[in-house]
Homo-oligomer: A and B are copies of this chain.
Amino acid sequence: MLEHFFSPKTVAVVGASREEGKVGHDLFKNILRYGYTGTIYPVNPKAESILGRKVYSSLREIPEKVELAVIVVPAQYVGSVVDECIEKGVDSIIVISAGFKESGTEGAKREQELYQKIKQHSIRMLGPNCLGLISTESSLNASFAADMPAEGNLGFFSQSGALCTAILDWAVREHIGFSKFISIGNKTDIDEVDLVKALGDDPRTKVILGYLEGIKRGTAFITTARDVTKKKPMIIVKSGGTAAGAKAASSHTGTLAGAENAFDAAFKQSGVLRARTIEELFNYARVFSFQPLPKGPHLALITNAGGPGIIAADAVEHSELKMAAFSKDTINSLRSALPAMANVYNPIDVLGDAKADRYQFVIEKVIEDPNVDAVLVILTPQTMTEIEETAKVIGEIAIRTDKTIVTSFMGGKRTEEAFTILSQGKVPNYLFPESAVSAVDALYRYSLWQNKPLPEIKEIRAKKEKVMSVIQKLQHMGRQHLIEEEAKEVITAYGFQIPKSIIAASEEEAAQAAEEIGFPVVMKISSPDILHKSDIGGVVVGIQNVTEVKRHFRGITQKAHRFIPNAEIRGVLVQQMVPKGKEVILGMSRDPQFGPLLMFGLGGIYIEVLKDVTFRVAPIGLQDAEEMVQEIRSFPLLRGVRGEKSADIEAIVNNLIKLSQLVTDFPQILEMDINPLIVFSRNEGAIVIDARISISL
């Protein structure tokens, strides 16, 4: 859908310049020098020819259709150039020029006008304020970067133009090739969602890489990425995470949620691998680019030195991978062929005097073993070591096998030539074994994602109209926070269980209610004006008989009047006293990028002190909900410790799904806490004790 950007037949460079060092010159020169085979038209009213090419004074003059216009004129002229584009029927433009949103209010206004203009005429725009793009498929370097990368299967987009220049320079040295290389600038029109989709559909792109500081359309990002990552891997470095932006939040969930948790949840739910550093991004990229996915987690280590073998085994232990346990056959054939001192168990030590043939024998044996899914070959450059020859042998084996093979040829000068040989053989080499293990681990984690079914979001039955009427009433009154009775109406409409309760306007009514419900009971003040009931003595628990009920009715209402004199008192709620169980919290807050962010954790200190919580973006499926519950560190407490019975985990999962649907159905709900949900033993359900909900007005 962005084909005019990546493979245009004709490109116009508006603002092409004769002056070396100017962006309009460098960019035009880049298009010329790297073998772009389409037609290129420099446009500049003040020049006759640039670099031997005839210059056109305006787009109108160009004798044929222009598929892509690259605009390099000062910001204040970009608008009129776009007018010419409209006239000329250009549907794809790249605006390199800076001086828009990033430069202040005036620029922001200019950017807004630009956006409206292109939207009206269905023009797609990359930028403004970007480095441009490179498409190796058409040998098009429509950027002012100083380098042209080799052709390869990595598609890269970056929100930082300068980072592009650094990565290009680095990629040239590291022989890393790209299919597309895109600087997205201010992403006024084309953003990461468009590019993920385009690179997802691009047959020349095997791996999608990105550097992002933020995401514009969170929901679209999740759904698009989720589809694309089922076909090909996507690895993102997201920075700017820790920037303090603590907004006031009234709920636990709101306090604990934050951009970082939302990103982690969104990436997890959409199969995006998050790299922690740029280095890790490319460490991962190389293995995805070169090697097949492993069928399982079992890694075999082959080394000519003990120490690095131990280092690698340690790294395996800290990953999702497992050390492969070889079959008897493998062990027997290794034992019969290797010197007595060699270790034939994992990690296999082929000893310091191993030449290429010994490595070859061992690797071939190991990849035949059904218990092995991936192999890491470690080599240290010892006196007898045949470095290049071993690299060649590994490359040949890698081509024949469908198992994952990576190497860690450790060293520098003496192993340099071998790095190139391995690269040519499509075997990613890592200077240190820890990085090699981490790369295979990423490959394996991605394979798990690929095999995981997409979440099935089942519609549960709910009384939506009840919720709608509560919300409408509040919006009508201009009140943001629901009182307890309203909150309960909302959640019971979605099937949450709450304690039996009756509102009582008098001592007599309270006594009658208590007898109907059965002792012991709890009594709570009911008032839209009192949010923190306990703080004013508005809650009494464990009431055993009618006399007590009457006495507390008086006490509670008197306290309410005394502490909050103008509060509207609706009476006192008499409630079933819920038996003991595990206290958990379910919550939701709205993330500015991804929308409804669900939270789950154990109540009390687990949330407040240990911050032991987990997040997902709603809507979630059954498996997501199950994972949420299992992910918290204190999960063993739910499963039961010291011979205790398990809590009703199924009930928690079901309640999470109800919450997910509720907040998806009603975007008016801004924040909510179900705190606590008391969970009983397996098969005995869960009851909501309190819920706080606030809505948008």
Contact = CB atoms under 8 A, between A and B. Distances in A.
Interface of A: 21, 23, 26, 103, 144, 146-147, 158-163, 165-167, 169-174, 211, 213, 237, 239-245, 247-249, 251-253, 276-279, 304-311, 313-314, 316-318, 323, 341, 343, 345, 347, 349, 352, 380-384, 410-416, 431-432, 434-435, 605, 608-610, 633-634, 636-637, 641-642
A352 B161 CA distance: 10
A174 to B, nearest CB: 6
A160 B245 contact: no
Contact of A307 (B162, B169, B316, B434): B162
Contacts of A158: 307
28 contacts: A159-B307, A160-B307, A160-B308, A163-B307, A165-B380, A166-B381, A166-B411, A169-B381, A169-B415, A170-B410, A170-B411, A170-B412, A171-B412, A172-B412, A172-B413, A239-B310, A239-B311, A242-B313, A245-B314, A252-B349, A253-B306, A277-B311, A278-B432, A278-B434, A608-B641, A608-B642, A609-B636, A610-B633
B314 A160 contact: no
Given A165-B305, A240-B310, A243-B310, 10 more contacts: A103-B341, A161-B305, A162-B306, A163-B305, A163-B308, A165-B381, A244-B313, A278-B311, A279-B432, A608-B642
A181 to B, nearest CB: 15
A307 B239 contact: yes
Contacts of A605: 634, 636-637, 641
- Number of copies of this chain in the oligomer? 2
A162 B248 contact: no
Contacts of A431: 170, 279
Nearest to A25: B383
Q: Kindly name the residue among A144, A310, A413 whose own CB sees the greatest number of chain B CB atoms within 10 A.
A: A310
Contacts of A382: 146, 162, 165
A454 to B, nearest CB: 31
A21 B384 contact: yes
A431 B431 CA distance: 14
A212 to B, nearest CB: 10
B244 A306 contact: no
B609 A641 contact: yes
Contact of A162 (B162, B166, B380): B380
Contacts of A248: 306, 309-310, 313, 347
A244 B171 CA distance: 35
A242 B314 contact: yes
B169 A414 contact: yes
Contacts of A341: 103
A323 B245 CA distance: 10
Contacts of A244: 313-314, 316-317, 323
A161 B305 CA distance: 8
Contact of A313 (B172, B247, B413): B247
A242 B379 CA distance: 22
A245 B349 CA distance: 14
Contacts of A316: 244
B410 A166 contact: yes
User: 10 closest A-B pairs (Cβ-Cβ)?
Assistant: A160-B307, A162-B305, A173-B412, A166-B410, A242-B317, A169-B411, A170-B412, A252-B306, A245-B314, A162-B380
Contacts of A345: 251
A306 B160 contact: yes
Contacts of A160: 305-308, 310
Contacts of A278: 311, 432, 434
A669 B558 CA distance: 63
Nearest to A176: B412
Contacts of A169: 381, 410-415
Contacts of A347: 248
Contacts of A384: 21
Contacts of A147: 413-414
A413 B641 contact: no
Contacts of A641: 605, 608-609
B146 A381 contact: yes
Contacts of A634: 605, 609-610
A634 B243 CA distance: 24
A272 B489 CA distance: 60
Contacts of A163: 305, 307-308, 380, 410
A561 to B, nearest CB: 26
Given A277-B432, A636-B609, A166 B309 contact: no
A277 B146 contact: no
| Most B Cβ at <10 Å: residue of A412, A416, A636 | A412
Given A242-B318, A608-B641, A634-B610, A211 B172 contact: no
Given A243-B317, A304-B162, A317-B243, A383 B21 contact: yes
A146 B304 contact: no
Residue among A162, A165, A305, A309 with the most chain B CB within 10 A?
A162
Given A609-B637, A634-B609, A241 B166 contact: no
Contacts of A410: 163, 166-167, 169-170
A245 B307 CA distance: 10
